[in-house]
Amino acid sequence: MKVQFYTCDVFTDAPFGGNQLAVFPDAMNIPEKLLQSITKEFNFSETTFVYPPANPAHTNRVRIFTPGKELPFAGHPTVGTAVALATIGKIPMTGTETKIIFEEGVGAVPVTIRAANGKSSFAQLSAAKLPEYKNLVPSANDIAQCLSLSREEITDAQFPIQSVSVGVFFLFVPIKTRTALKRIRLNIQKLETLYKEFGVGEIFVFTTDAEQPDSKFRARMFAPTLG
């Protein structure tokens, strides 16, 4: 079986930077049973498989896999796939801005692709659904243990600790400094405990102590449960 694929670097303008992504622009002939195995073989954070849309008014159906499982939605695979398809001519560009709709597990995802000098260079998505929130979240003490930080380094006065999803639930954790952000080391055993009790498997840690004056946040994301 021969199928075409592309590897992309998302969220960067430099090769071998950003976030890796593998894109299969025509996955119709790939057996279902191989999708997860192919993703594990790449071992990128995500791989996408592109199909014709169920609704002819939409652009494509896109399935997103991590090495551990299929996801109903993810941001970097969505924008990366859009730019990749536009770059290879699978999505015709209609001037400096082209609007498309991907069908994903979470629903219809609108994406805007922008072009510069005749080449696609930027994509921006709109979430397919409003955020969902879980009522129960772990205590700050438990989260600090999970991140190998002290309780005092978590600052939940301005931004509360919240579990939020627009397709996949992430626990959002505010901390004081980017120095603490760099020191984070996941306590996997503690994370497994939180996963069993609260369903917490993916953690998005952020601080307002950003490096650049025009940046509002510095963040790290941890998702070992996704493989």
Catalytic residues: 46
Containing 34, the helix (H) or strand (E) segment is none
CA angle 83, 67, 135 (to 5 degrees): 90
- Distance of alpha carbon 217 from alpha carbon 214, whole angstroms: 10
Phi and psi dihedrals of 55, rounded to 5? -100, 120
b/e per residue 176-201 (b: at least 16 CB within 10 A): eebebbeebeeeeebbebbeeebebb
Phi and psi dihedrals of 81, rounded to 5? -65, -40
End-to-end Cα distance, the chain: 26
Q: Which residues, listed in sequence order, are joined to residue 220 by a DSSP beta bridge?
A: 205
Which residues make Cβ contacts (< 8 Å) with residue 114, sequence separation at least 6? 96, 97, 98, 120, 121, 122, 123, 124
